[in-house]
Amino acid sequence: MIAGSVFVHPFAVYHGNVIIGEYSSLWASAVIRAEYDRVVIGRFTNIQDNVTIHPDHGNPVVIGDNVTVAHNTVIHAARIEDNCMISMGVIIQDGAVIGKGTIVAAGAVVRERQVIPPNSIVMGVPAQIKEGKPGQMQRITDNALSYAALAQLYKRGLDVTSADLFQQMLVEVERFFDPKK
């Protein structure tokens, strides 16, 4: 089930048991294949260009609210809790859990069944856990909210290059946004 406010780019592909929450977005060339188990994506979550998401038998993919999954990331049979930022080119392997409020740095590889504690910063191959930094939660929520606003401009066929329209849309979607969820 895909919520009515979700933006799905015409070149994004999803099939199978996929659930996507309000004000989320799937961008160009994102692929979600959910034939073996379900994929659940929360509210205000953006799945950017060229992201691949795939569950395994008995191992769903669950991505929480207010999550940014950046370009060229692969998520396989893993769980990402609320308010996370998964940077470009990350690989998250089977059974991994990314704790709430975590930033995973570009190019990191989160190993099978690796559990990342909440409010961490993760980087490297294999992923190493670092302590979070002040202000990281605000950066994560700002990013999720701005993508929700941009997605609504695209969904409505409005001028995505207009700073004024973007600010108006930001105010509109912010009414529904709860970063504490």
Q: Which two three-digit tokens encode residue 101?
A: 């409020």
Q: Are strands 52-54 and 68-69 parallel, antiparallel or unpaired?
A: unpaired
pLDDT tens digits for range 119-161: 999 999 999 998 888 888 888 988 898 899 899 889 988 888 8
User: If pLDDT is split at 50, 70 and 90, which confidence band does 171 have?
Assistant: confident
Q: Are strands 68-69 and 109-110 parallel, antiparallel or unpaired?
A: unpaired
pLDDT tens digits for range 88-105: 999 999 999 999 999 999
User: If pLDDT is split at 50, 70 and 90, which confidence band does 175 have?
Assistant: confident
Q: Which two three-digit tokens encode residue 166?
A: 């973007």
Average pLDDT, the chain: 93
Domain boundaries, the chain: 7-131
CB atoms within 10 A of CB 43: 23
Rounded to whole angstroms, how far apart are CA atoms 167 and 120? 31
Rounded to whole angstroms, how far apart are CA atoms 60 and 80? 11
**What is the pTM assigned to this prediction?**
0.94
156 Cβ partners below 8 Å, 6+ apart? none
CB 128 within 8 A of CB 116: no
Q: What is the structure's pLDDT at 153? A: 87
| Superfamily of segment(s) 7-131 | Hexapeptide repeat proteins (2.160.10.10)
